[in-house]
Amino acid sequence: MKTAIIDYEAGNLANALRAAQRAGLDCFVTRDPEALRQADALVLPGVGAMKDAMDHLKAFGLADALKEEVRKGKKLVGICVGLQVFCDYSEEGGHVEGLGLIPGAVVRFPEGKLKVPHMGWNELVFRRPHWIAEGLPPHPYVYFVHSYYKSPADTPDVVACADYGVQVPAIIEKGHVLGLQFHPEKSGAVGAQIWKNIAAWMNGGDQ
């Protein structure tokens, strides 16, 4: 099984690659749409603004290729901004159209007592049993860095949330598309276990 780590100039590529390799995934880095079609599974890491992410995906011909491969049933994981581009649109920078793979909008944290961006460790609270929780402690903490989040938080695609003044969808899944708002590659032993669970799923697990 070959997993493509998608390079679309959205940062955090090296960390995601190393974490995926440590978890046992056979990875290669690419921004070639044809290479995506040859891969068995896909990872879309990301740091930064959704507008820049979408602009780069379109410029490299990756936006249409990603949607095409998902329609074929290929497994796709998005991290941080990688999750956000799965949504219908983002309010960041006006109105930015996403890939429309998972319904919902990407909205900014409301003004209040909590600092924005949401930066640091926060607990995952699972809405339902899920294979990605295999081997995790009862109260797993993971590392977040973001100012925007997927809304609403009460849809069937939301697997787990974190509380940061509002309910933040931290793990979402629809079909073969999985999104993580946090950074598993920066989340210590919990993140390493999550990567191992993702690797098992990508390598043909029956979850």
Estimate the share of the chain in helix, then strand, then coil, as percent rounded to the nearest 5.
30, 30, 40
H or E, element range at 10: none
Selecting among 27, 56, 80, 161, the annotated active-site residue is 80
Q: Is 80 a catalytic residue?
A: yes
The answer to whether residue 52 sits within a structural domain is yes
Q: Which residue has the tokens 């978890």?
A: 23
H or E, element range at 148: strand 148-151
The answer to whether residue 132 sits within a structural domain is yes
The answer to whether residue 40 sits within a structural domain is yes
Count of domains observed in the chain: 1
Alpha carbon of 20 to those of 3, 93, 107, 167, 187: distances in Å? 9, 31, 29, 28, 13
What is the reported pLDDT for 9? Answer: 86
The answer to whether residue 207 sits within a structural domain is no
Cα separation, 109 vs 86, whole angstroms: 19
SS3 189: helix
The encoded tokens of residue 107 equal 């909205």
pLDDT tens per residue, the chain (207 residues)? 899 999 998 777 888 999 999 999 999 999 999 999 999 999 999 888 899 999 999 999 999 999 999 999 999 999 999 999 999 999 988 899 999 999 999 999 998 888 999 999 999 999 999 999 999 999 999 999 999 999 999 999 999 999 999 999 999 999 999 999 999 999 999 999 999 999 999 988 644
- Output the domain CATH number for residue 163: 3.40.50.880
Q: Is 91 a catalytic residue?
A: no
**Cα-Cα-Cα-Cα dihedral of 201, 184, 101, 50, to 10°?**
-160
The answer to whether residue 81 sits within a structural domain is yes
Q: Is 27 a catalytic residue?
A: no
DSSP one-letter string for 66-122: HHHHHHTT-EEEEETHHHHTTSSEE-TTS-EE---SS--EEEEPPSSSS-SSEEEEE
Structural domain including 19 reads 2-202
The answer to whether residue 12 sits within a structural domain is yes
Cα separation, 38 vs 33, whole angstroms: 9
Selecting among 69, 92, 173, 185, the annotated active-site residue is 185
